[in-house]
Structure 1
């Protein structure tokens, strides 16, 4: 059986403590495009680059295409060149992109994000590193505590009103995302950005209801998930976690499994498992599929689909991960950049039948 090319239903009935009926979305296969920042926006607006970039993956057979980290507030952007969804003009710019993905047979998804203390940094496309000075378009950053990421500006610790504003911003962005035509909304709680900063004791030094215990550190994420679910009751809600900080005393796999269970119980119906990004002194051992074991651990602890990501670059490898029961779907990134028709290629490599775009059928057989 070619599990990689089997459909996957997301949002099917699960045991939750909510009264909200979860949406149901069917991905045509389980080889998906992970969110990848393009640093190519002006004033948060996606443009022609984003349209072509994302639509090509749907033409190439992807089951789901996830738009990059999309800031819910202007100060939540990683860089001045990031996309956003904090106003209606951005919503309207995203609409034809989501429609193009859907027309080509893939599920349109978007990652909603706030960079927290890792905001206001130079895009890697500029060749510069570190915080953007205010004189050159930078802005003050926020975080759970006034603890800077190494080499970046010190953030301001969010007060109660600031936390409420963050939750409201995620909800507003969720409403705009659905209005733009996205079926899956991924809450970004990974890679050292704001929600991950609250989760990890390395960045969260608070002594109020949002700090200290695991339950307190997860409080903001749970509130965001509730707000996004309430704002978009007919969308599939996903969460991306960094399963470990790769640093002593930090967030770890056991924490991830526990909190993944909590968000699943509140209506989240897809968990995406990555790792790292919180601290500069992290020590990561990479290699093909180096994060798959984290996905396996989370999958064993939750009753919703789990996707794996991280140096998954060929069809046989992706198929073996699913066949072993380590994940329900594959999020790939760089391999899609190398080959926007990765799924069509994968079908050929696995000897499986897959529908090609009519315009490309002439190239199906050599």
Structure 2
């Protein structure tokens, strides 16, 4: 008996090899230059990337650090957040947001999300402010910025620091303002899967606050200034020169990559709205926003069953995030309960991210859509 060879199509969540093919020659030449120079720590590539991303973000300073998680922590520490303070943020985010707050000794204070955008509900922030509140961390989830103009009004009224977690939103804008323009600082991640991804870890703080920028530079090198003289407790968190070199190559194509993501998001949205609008809610780009679609995230009825069906048919999908921060065991001591943030908890059982990257082929998107329609017809 002859064995049948499977011909099932395979659609990856992300395929970084396709992007590498586009820029392989320049990436390898750049890496070779760094290795030949023997300058591996805080060299010219880091300085160039810091300058270029600061300008791109319309701010004065970029401070390259070891990763996006450290970027949030260092920015908070540089802004004076410490034990006894409270920092308001969203529970619907990657753990690093809440973890960075806790690592300063401050207490994370969670508020619910806007069910339309998945971002922090700006209206809920003011109700959570106490005399211990020091800062707000809005997270620009999936590539769309939170309502920064309203958050800025609240911070100005109560004299609060804003550290924007823009790990997923480099290149995004809110009514013409990019991450870091309205906040005290913003933080980026260069994790390989991000819209601007390195070939390892990396992160950056962007700010126009001179004092915060200088303190961040000191904190990232064990708190030393000058070298071997330590006036604050810092740690080793520097953006690697090799990673900066790779990022400099990729950065030149960031805007093009953002536009390609938006085109693919529009294709998904048009077809899914036409075919399965009773079962799927597509992402909403708020008026005046520029969404860069780090993830293309739908709300889906029977989400888990749909995810399983896609997997059976060779299609990757991801759940960001299955458990909100206020219910994580490590934050149990904060006393939050199930059903405390209904919009957040509903999102954890409905949100599903579909394959999304600049090189994603339309025929692959069509296959994803075909299988989603097929699932709901069953």
Q: TM-score, normalised by structure 1?
A: 0.29
Return the index of the structure with the highest Cα Rg: 2
Q: TM-score, normalised by structure 2?
A: 0.28
Q: Which has the higher helix share?
A: 2
